[in-house]
Each structure stands twice: as C-alpha cells, then as structure tokens.
Structure 1
C-alpha cells in the first residue's frame, strides 16, 4: 500500500510540476478533499485547486523541485523547494497527504521562506 500511495501522489504531481497540468492533480483528489494550512485555515477541493491554478498553472511560472517523496501507510510526505516567479523568493514546503481509496483525501501544508530558516531554527535555544 505504501508504494502504491507514493505512486498516486507522484503521478498527481508530475504533470503539475512539469507542465502546470492542474487537471491531473484534480482527478487524483477525492470529492471531499480538505486542505489544511499551518494557520489553521482549511479549503475545499474547489478552493484549493483554484489557488493551485493561480500559483502553478502553465502561465504562473513557479518552479518546484521535489526533494523527498516519502510514504508510510496511508500518508505520503512531499518535501519541496519552490521559487516564486518575478521575485525569485524561495520557500521550503512540507506537504503531508492522506490517501483513501486510491485518492488524495486530505493534505496538510507547512511553508517556510528559505531566507527565514536560520532564524526560525533557533527558537528553542535558551537566551542568556
């Protein structure tokens, strides 16, 4: 099951990243798909796909490099580095996807600007 789930996610992302094909991604999502952001907001399948079309569609220009694609049971984790068009701003993203009945049913996303990584990595250090 783990390998199959990783294949489902890999196939959904391949067309999106290579050509901006949001329809392939859409066909991989369950009808009741929910997307969760780290700020506790959620979006429906339609809302999330509209945002993806804006960010990653064929004319958007965002570059996405998949660094890791890991699977465990019904969850697949995607670790990526993305460069925003125009500004060249780089973000690091971790998506955790839950697979149910061969569809992506739920996703959680954590985004960090790469430029903030060093500062964000010291929050647990004691102050002197």
Structure 2
C-alpha cells in the first residue's frame, strides 16, 4: 500500500475508534480497534496492557459522561497518527489539552502515548526549566 493511502487509512481508523468512544461511551467499540498486544505509554500510567488500559478508560468515563471533545489537529505519517484535542469536562470541570500519539499495525492500534494538561495550568508550565534559586 502506498504511504499516502496508509496514512489516510490510519487517520480514519483512529478517528472512527475515538468517535465511537466519545459519542457513545462504548469502550468495547474502542477495544475492537486495538491489537491484542496493544501497549499504553504515559509517564504516570498505571495501565500498560490492552486489558489494563481499557479498564482504566471504563473507570474514567463513568464520571465524564457529557465530556465535550474538540479535535484541533489530526496529523499522520505512515504508521503514526497524532491527535491534539481540547476536552471540557462536564459541569464546572476543567478544560484539558490532550495530545495522543497512536502507532498502528495491520489496521489496528498497537501503541498509544498521551500527554494531558489542564489548560488553566499551562502558563505555569512554560518555565518548567527555571529553578527557584535563579
């Protein structure tokens, strides 16, 4: 398959998997898009395997019914898809910025990385390299 077609297909796979999850809260729909050897990466993650990550997603979605997701960018290069979104939690919950990186293999999501930052805290993180003694 030409690289352009693979990139387009991979973007579609990621969009469809997440659209079903966000629209319906159906974690099983997302599960069908993950490879059996799926690996989740995040600096503070307690879930790494497919089963662990799906359990964490199920637990997280319960209080988040009504979360709004605005996809800002979907970029793809070969087997990787990057999704940048802004998410607004229900009620008076915070707005968060999320960057997800997905690696696909054989039409399924094989790996995921994610970075989540509350938008209200973003300014404080602009100077993370500065120490208190400066």
Which TM-score bucket, shorter chain as reference?
Answer: 0.7 to 0.9
Q: Which consecutive residues of structure 2, in runs of 5 or more, have no partner in the other structure?
A: 1-5
State the Cα RMSD in Å.
Answer: 2.3
**3-state SS of paired residue (2:58):** helix
User: Relative to total residues, which structure has the larger strand share, 1 or 2?
Assistant: 1
TM-score using structure 1 length: 0.87
Q: Which consecutive residues of structure 1, in runs of 5 or more, have no partner in the other structure?
A: none
Structure-2 separation of matches of 1:20 and 1:67: 20
Number of residues paired by the alignment? 128
Q: 1:119 aligns with which of 89, 111, 124?
A: 124
Which protein is bigger by CA-based radius of gyration? 2
Q: Does 1:110 align with 2:99?
A: no
Instruction: Provide runs of 4+ in structure 1 moved above 4 Å.
Output: 124-128
- The alpha-carbon deviation at position 51 of structure 1 amounts to 1.4
TM-score using structure 2 length: 0.83
**3-state SS of paired residue (1:43):** coil
